[in-house]
Amino acid sequence: MTSVRLLQAKEAEELYGPRRETWPEERARWRAGRMAGSTWIRRDGRADSVQWLDLPGEQELDLAWVERHYFAWVPRLAGQAVHPHYLPDGRLELAPWPLDWPRLIKMAPVVLEQDARHRRRIRPIRGGFLAKPGGSLEFELLRRPGGRRLVVAVRALSPRLPLGLYLSVQTPLHERSTFAFLREVNRRYVAQTLGLVVSQQPDGTT
């Protein structure tokens, strides 16, 4: 689930070519309640970290809710050492607490995309202490026979850390926090589908 693979040229072209259907979360078999994903390194050194959760039924998810509560998990899983900052113009930045400097990752305002099979909430990455400009953070909902696939994806990230340090430190933290978040989403989704009352949001609020 968390293996990191260096791609051969042909495989990289297949995975990250112009057709979205060739991306890993598009090709994986759907199974209700299943979480999967990994981090892939392209030959040019950019990273794609993609994790997903298969949800049963036809109930829709608000991707704005997903994003908001994903970033509510950031301080919780970082020991309150990292906090999100929502800026008035729609930008979002992650910074260490309590100094609020340096800005670890800077993201642009949201870009929305939708077609018959996908809904996407995309934040282009504009740089920061941990990332060079380029790439994006994406929250996606894919239609599947029998349900939905919720995807949290970092696309084409250019890490500022040396590759070895990125893979040994930043990647495990990101994957662990994302899978923990998806487990909580699954718990809430199943409870709502069954008509149960859930007392807390992922950030601890009601």
AA identity, residue 154: V
Instruction: Write down the H helix ranges in the chain.
Output: 9-16, 24-27, 63-77, 163-165, 171-193
Instruction: Please say whether the beta carbons of 126 and 133 come within 8 A.
Output: yes
Express the helix, strand and coil content of the chain in percent, nearest 5 each: 30, 35, 35
Strands of 78-178, DSSP E: 82-86, 92-96, 105-107, 111-114, 118-127, 136-144, 147-157
What pTM was estimated for this model as a whole? Answer: 0.82
The domain spans of the chain are: 29-57+77-193
AA identity, residue 82: V
User: Which fold is adopted by the domain 29-57+77-193?
Assistant: Alpha-D-Glucose-1,6-Bisphosphate; Chain A, domain 4 (3.30.530)
Instruction: Per-residue pLDDT tens, the chain, 206 aa: give them.
Output: 334 444 443 444 444 444 344 577 888 888 988 999 999 998 899 999 999 999 988 777 899 999 999 998 877 777 778 899 999 999 999 999 888 899 999 999 999 999 888 899 999 999 999 999 999 999 999 998 889 999 999 999 999 999 999 999 989 988 988 999 999 899 888 777 655 433 344 444 43
